[in-house]
Structure formats: C-alpha cells, structure tokens
C-alpha cells in the first residue's frame, strides 16, 4: 500500500447522497481477477451524460471526490475502491460512508474523510465556483484545505491513520500476534464446527 | 449478546489499535476472492485454517446450464477452482449437490451456529445472524487477512436493539417487516451498529424468516443483525450435517444459552416497531428505504422536507419512470424474480407455490424462480413445487445469485420493470437500466399472475387483468 501523507489535487463536487457501490462500479464490471483495470466501469451509468461532473473538462483529472452522505453504501465490493483509485482518486470526502466501503478504502489506501454536511456543502460551492481548483488533504495534521478560507479538521481513527501514513501491511502486523492466535485456537470450544477434520 | 460474543472472540485487545477478532468460519466465493489468493501467493503465505474456510460458486454462475459460456465469468470461476485446490479449501462447484448461495448453504448445512463469528466477502453475510452468530461482510483485503490469519482487526461496534412487538398479520412476511423498518430509519440509520432483533414478533418468526430480516440489516447500514438463540434455533440446527453431534448437544445448548442477552442489558440505541401495523410493502425508488405500502401511491418529491431526500426522490422517479400519485397496484411489470439470499429458501418457494398453484403467469410476464441452493432445489422438487411453478408458466432454475445481482446471464433488460424478492433496487443493480421493485415472495408470485404489483388477495378480485400503464404519457 502506497503511503499517504499530504495530497493536493483537483476536487470534483458530486452533489449526490446515497451513491451506492452499484453506481460506483456495477457488478458486471466485477469479473476481473486482478486489482487493476476497474476504472473503465467507474460511475458507468452516468459517464454518458455531459453534465456528469467528471465529464466536465475542469474536473476530468480530479483526485479528490467530494460526495454527499452515505457514499459507498451497498455491497462489500472492494473493487469500488479500486475503480476510484484506478481513475486517479486518492481521497473521497463525504459526511458519512457505507461501513464496508470505508473499511475497504482504509485497507487499500484510499483516504475516506468524514466532514459534516455544512462543510461538505462549502467544499461543493468552492469547487463549483472555482472549477479545477485543488483541495489539500494533510493526513498528518488531519486537515482539509481549499483556497484561502477553507481549513477544516477531521477525525480519523489513529490506528488507521498510522497505517495509511506508513503504508503498513496489516497482515504482517497481525502475524506478530501468532502465539496469541495459536493459544486461542487450542482452547476453542469443541462444539464449534469444522469443514473437515485435519 | 454481541458483547458476550465479542469478548470471547477478541484475542488481542489494544488501547491504540482495534481488537483482533477470531473468525470461526470464513465463506468464500468466486467474485471477491481472486485478488485475496493472489495476495497470499505474492507474500508466500498460506491459508491458516482451511478447515474453517468453505467456498462456493454463486455470484456469476448461470442457473440454466452448467456450462460457463461467458469468458470473464468463467475465468473467475476457474481461478477459484485453482485457488481452492492450491490452498486446500473445500469448494462446492456449480452442479455439486452442496452448491448454492453462500448465505443459504451456511445455515442449511449447520455450519452457521450461535455465538460464532463469521465473515464473507459479501455484504449479506448478516443473514447468518438469524441463528445467533455475529456475521458480517468484508472486502477483499480483509478476505486475504482472514485467509492468512483466521482473524480480523475490528473496532468494537456500537449496539442497537430493534424490538418488534405484537405479531405480524396473516399474509405479511419478514420481508415486509424489513422493508417497513428500512423505510422508517433510512438507508443509513444503522450505520456503525450491530443490531439485535427481539420481541414477540421476532420470537414467532421461523429461522428462515429471521434470515430474511437479518439479511436486510445491511440495507439500512447495519453491518450485522442477529437474533438470540432459542428453541426455534436449536430445533432448526438439530441433526444438520455440521451441527454438534448428539453427545455434544447438551454442551452446545448450554453454551448457546449462555450467549443470550442478559435482562436489563443496555444498548447504545433502541428502536421499537409494532408488527401488527406492518402491511405488504413495495419499493418505488432506487434504494431500499424508498418504499410504501402496496395499497399506497407513488409519492411526490414535494412530500420530502429534507432537500437531499427530495432530490434523491426526483432522481429515483425519473430513473424508475414513475409518476407521483400512481397507485402502486397499477404499476405493470415485465419480469418477476423469486430467489436470492434474501428470499430463495424453501419457505419462500412454498409461499410462492401457494399463490401460483392452479394459476397462470400473466401474458408477457417472465417469471424466474431460482432456489438458493441445490438442497433447496431438491427439497422443492420432492414437494412437487417445481411442477406447480412450471405449470404456472415459470422458469425453474438451478441454484445461484441469479437475477439479484446482474453479473450472470440472468439480467433484467434496459427499461424493463421487475418485481424482485432480492435485496437491492439500486440503479442498474439487476442490469443496466433495469427498474426494480423489492417485494416479498407472496407479492412477487401474485404480481406475476396479475401482471401488476399485487398481493395474493388481489388475484381473485382481478379475474381479467386489464393492465394500466404506469409510464408517463
């Protein structure tokens, strides 16, 4: 996972709530066995419409998506995160995220920033008044900045922040608890099922 | 109960990091796993507990043939077969006796038991909560994590209790209850919570009905939903293949009993719902919270005071091609789908058969009935339900996710309207441009007969269906 410390990039205002994972990446695009190449299907239902934000030249190269509440609700498909990353996004800002999407983003290094609705509203206005303007996300300082006036702090779980800042392999972290896992397994109730006896 | 399960399964508890939770059973399917197995290979890691891992082919497989004709879907299935062989994971392949939708085969084989922590790279893993398991959906990176370590770092969730008082009226199902609940709390209402369902109405539900309810937990944002184990749970489990043997049964029962929520336990949030007020419910929009009673009309965006909800309603009506004020019962459908991890079990098929017996599907309507597993298929055929379906003009299929997900050959065409017993009515969910109305199995079957959204009671009142177009002039 690529470390994320500070990122400055064009902000794209997506004034919509409840953008579910079927809208981010429909299931028919899930038939890959790799982590890359999903960008083709990103927001495919809207990509034909000239009004869609990413079709407007100022926002085509956006790397920070500013969306409405409950972004990424629905299925557990991590490919929704990979599709956003494949397109070039490094971060998504929204008032609230679908639970699994937010977790997936954290695992894959896409930064999901939660900001209150009024603050997202200000960012939308800013991005629309200044098409192509950039937004800066400083994960170290936990701030979102845009233009001269916008500087918002955000909350993020410390453990996740540490992992993102350093691009840490979480499985390697867990494997350091190998003894504790083995000890737990040796005392696991015998009533619990196993697919086969090993 | 959530707390009790959590405390038993948290191996490592850290102040500055999430708890490390032991996973009792990990279900794997072809779509969310290939990159996880790749990750293991890249780091030279193995599957820690193949005996606590089980795989099935369900999402992209066809239900009318055993032949995988579509090349990208075939590659995914073949990749899965290769991965399971290489890493020693038991796999139910398309055509196998045990194959089926992951959330149907877990409970029916007895692999799902009270107090277990279970995960799968699929959001509807919450289904297994019906048996008192803590079960939730995970992404592919987490699938890799579980394969490698049999654990998952997890933040302790907040808890919520949904108390459903009274009894569901006759002809009203757990699906209606779920849709009513979601319409009330909204798609984000359960965000960050694990929900325990309880109350008189829940106790009265069968295990399969509880599965339908728990399955839909994710549709209002809750990552998991569960029901405390009781006599209904024990009776369901007894004798199933992976259930505790007779000699371990007493021990198991004692263990399961000890998990139940203590009297007076507190939750972070509480919701109460009166079951006797639940009626047959259908969705009109593009998220599961946009629903009304079948007897109601398509709402107007003006009815929503919240500007976000108003614009979402506008967008939904335009996508669904519905006019405010149209009676839901006047909405004409092209396709009806009965199946999925929400409503593809034997009781669902029986409910559909009861409506379809001796009747015919309306002209021009395509009815697909897809059992959730091969075991459900066998059971239905033993009971002769397949004959009822075929005689009514339905297509009787093999097991799989089918038309719920739009990534296998069973899709709804652009602009087509469907009444579906599945779980999501998102834009394009069942195929590009498909318009979905979520319904219960009984409403689905009645809709197929009438040709318009209907309850079984409407059929006799509608001897000669004269469909009225729901489309704008």
- In this predicted model, what pLDDT tens digit does every residue of B426-447 receive, in sequence order? 999 999 999 999 999 999 999 9
Q: Which residue does chain A place closest to B22, by CA atoms? A: A181
Nearest-by-Cβ selection for B426 from A22, A77, A170:
A22
Q: In sequence order, which residues have a C-beta less than 8 Å from that of residue B135 and are 6 or more positions away?
A: B112, B116, B117, B118, B119, B120, B125, B126, B127, B128, B129, B224, B226
pLDDT, residue B471, reads 47
- End-to-end Cα separation, chain B, in angstroms: 54
Query: Mean pLDDT by 10-residue block, N- to C-terminus, for chain B (473 residues)?
Result: 94 88 97 95 96 96 93 93 97 96 97 98 97 97 98 95 97 97 94 96 98 97 96 97 96 94 93 97 97 98 91 96 98 98 98 97 98 98 98 97 94 96 96 96 98 94 53 44
pLDDT, residue B402, reads 95
From CA B153, how far away is CA B190, in angstroms rounded?
Answer: 21
Report CB contact under 8 Å: B191, A99. yes
- The DSSP call for residue A43 is T
Report CB contact under 8 Å: B51, A75. no
Q: In chain B, what residues touch A159 (CB-CB under 8 Å)? A: 16-18, 153
Cα-based distances in Å from B25 to A193, B98, B123, B464: 8, 17, 15, 51
Contact between B153 and B247 (Cβ < 8 Å):
no
Instruction: Please count the CA atoms within 13 angstroms of the CA of B447 that sit on its side-chain side.
Output: 33
For residue B98, the SS3 value is coil
Report CB contact under 8 Å: A23, B43. no
Dihedral sign from CA coordinates of B28, B129, B5, B162: positive
Helix runs in B88-199, H state only: 102-109, 140-149, 174-185
Report CB contact under 8 Å: A34, B50. no
Helices A99-108 and A79-87: angle between axes, nearest 10 degrees = 50
Q: In chain A, what residues touch B424 (CB-CB under 8 Å)? A: 20, 22, 74-75
From CA B421, how far away is CA B441, in angstroms rounded?
Answer: 6
- DSSP calls for B146-169: HHHHSEEEEPPPEEEEEEEES-PP
Q: Which residue does chain B place closest to A17, by CA atoms? A: B308
pLDDT, residue B465, reads 47
- DSSP calls for A59-81: GTT--EEEE-SSBTBS---THHH
User: From the candidates B8, B108, B123, B414, which should be mutated to test the interface with A, based on the most A CB atoms within 10 A?
Assistant: B123
Q: Give B233-275 as a 3 state SS string.
A: HHHHHCCCCCCCCHHHHHHHHHHHHCCCCCCCCCCCEEEEEEH
Dihedral sign from CA coordinates of B176, B178, B184, B186: negative
Instruction: Please count the CA atoms within 13 angstroms of the CA of A18 that sit on its side-chain side.
Output: 25
User: From the candidates A192, A196, A197, A198, which should be mutated to test the interface with B, based on the most B CB atoms within 10 A?
Assistant: A192
From CA A119, how far away is CA A122, in angstroms rounded?
Answer: 5
Percent of chain B past pLDDT 90, that is, above it, reads 92
Q: Which residue, among B129, B122, B91, has the nearest Cα to B107 in the 3D structure?
A: B129
Low-confidence ranges of chain A (pLDDT < 50): none
pLDDT, residue A198, reads 66
Count Cβ atoms within 10 A of the Cβ of residue B236 and give its class: 0-12 exposed, 13-18 middle, 19 or more buried. Answer: buried
Q: Which residue, among B172, B140, B106, B153, has the nearest Cα to B33 in the 3D structure?
A: B140
Q: In chain B, what residues touch A69 (CB-CB under 8 Å)? A: 188, 308
pLDDT, residue A67, reads 98
Q: In chain A, what residues touch B62 (CB-CB under 8 Å)? A: none
pLDDT, residue B254, reads 94
The pTM (predicted TM-score) of the whole model is 0.94
pLDDT in tens, B247-276: 999 999 999 999 999 989 999 999 999 999
Q: Which of residues 135-174 of A touch B (CB under 8 A)?
A: 157-159, 169-171, 173-174
* ipTM score of complex: 0.91
Q: In chain A, what residues touch B229 (CB-CB under 8 Å)? A: none
Nearest-by-Cβ selection for A171 from B145, B248, B429:
B145
From CA B49, how far away is CA B46, in angstroms rounded?
Answer: 9
């Amino acid at each position: 996972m690529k470390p994320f410390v500070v990122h400055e990039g064009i902000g794209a205002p997506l004034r919509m709530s409840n953008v579910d994972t079927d809208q981010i990446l429909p299931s028919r695009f899930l038939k890959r066995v790799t982590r890359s190449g999903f960008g083709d299907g990103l927001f495919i239902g809207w990509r034909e419409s000239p009004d869609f934000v990413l079709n407007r030249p100022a926002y085509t190269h956006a790397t920070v998506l500013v969306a409405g509440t409950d972004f990424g609700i629905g299925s557990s498909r991590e490919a929704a995160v990979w599709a956003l990353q494949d397109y070039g996004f490094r971060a998504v800002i929204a008032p609230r995220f679908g639970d699994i999407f937010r977790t997936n983003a954290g695992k894959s290094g896409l930064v999901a920033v939660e900001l209150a609705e009024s603050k997202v509203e200000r960012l939308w206005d800013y991005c629309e008044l200044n098409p192509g303007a950039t937004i800066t996300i400083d994960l170290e300082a936990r701030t979102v900045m845009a233009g001269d006036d916008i500087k918002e702090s955000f909350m993020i779980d410390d453990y996740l922040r540490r992992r993102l800042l350093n691009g840490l392999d979480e499985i390697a972290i867990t494997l350091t608890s190998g003894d504790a896992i083995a000890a737990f397994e040796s005392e696991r109730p015998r009533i619990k099922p196993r697919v086969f006896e090993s | 109960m959530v707390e009790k399960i959590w405390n038993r399964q948290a191996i490592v508890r850290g102040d500055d990091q999430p708890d490390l939770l032991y996973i009792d059973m990990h279900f794997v399917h072809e779509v969310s796993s290939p990159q996880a197995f790749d990750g293991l290979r890249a780091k030279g890691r193995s599957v820690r507990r193949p005996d606590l891992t089980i795989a099935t082919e369900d999402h992209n497989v066809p239900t009318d043939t055993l032949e995988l004709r579509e090349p990208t879907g075939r590659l995914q299935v073949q990749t899965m077969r290769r991965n399971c062989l290489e890493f020693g994971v038991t796999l139910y392949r398309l055509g196998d006796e045990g194959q089926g939708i992951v959330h149907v085969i877990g409970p029916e084989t007895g692999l799902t038991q009270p107090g277990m922590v279970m995960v799968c790279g699929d959001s509807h893993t919450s289904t297994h909560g019906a048996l008192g398991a803590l079960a939730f959906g995970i992404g592919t990176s987490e699938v890799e994590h579980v394969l490698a370590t049999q654990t998952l770092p997890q933040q302790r969730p907040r808890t919520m209790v949904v108390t459903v008082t009274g009894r569901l009226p006759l002809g009203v199902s757990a699906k209606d209850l779920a849709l009513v609940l979601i319409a009330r709390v909204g798609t984000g209402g359960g965000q960050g919570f694990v929900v325990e369902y309880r109350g008189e109405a829940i106790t009265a539900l069968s295990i399969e009905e509880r599965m339908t309810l728990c399955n839909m937990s994710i549709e209002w944002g809750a990552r998991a939903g569960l029901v405390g184990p009781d006599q209904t749970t024990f009776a369901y489990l007894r004798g199933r293949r992976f259930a505790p043997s007779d000699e371990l049964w007493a021990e198991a029962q004692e263990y399961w009993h000890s998990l139940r929520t203590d009297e007076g336990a507190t939750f972070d949030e509480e919701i109460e719902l009166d079951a006797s007020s639940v009626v047959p419910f259908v969705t009109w929009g593009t998220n599961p919270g946009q629903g009304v009673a079948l007897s109601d009309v398509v709402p107007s965006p003006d009815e929503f005071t919240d500007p976000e909800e108003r614009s979402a309603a506008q967008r939904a009506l335009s996508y669904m091609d519905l006019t405010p004020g149209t009676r839901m019962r006047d909405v004409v459908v092209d396709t009806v789908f009965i199946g999925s991890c929400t409503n593809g079990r034997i009781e669902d098929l029986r409910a559909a058969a009861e409506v379809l017996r001796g009747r015919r599907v309306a002209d021009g309507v395509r009815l697909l009935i897809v059992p959730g597993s091969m075991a459900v298929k066998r059971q239905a055929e033993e009971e002769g339900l397949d004959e009822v379906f075929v005689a009514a003009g339905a297509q009787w299929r093999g097991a799989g996710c089918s038309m719920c997900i739009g990534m296998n050959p069973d899709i709804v065409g652009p602009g087509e309207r469907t009444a579906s017993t599945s779980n999501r009515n998102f834009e394009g969910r069942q195929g590009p441009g498909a318009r979905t109305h979520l319904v219960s199995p009984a409403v689905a079957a009645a809709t197929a007969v009438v040709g318009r959204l209907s309850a079984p009671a409407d059929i006799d009142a509608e001897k000669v269906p004269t469909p009225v177009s729901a489309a704008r002039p």
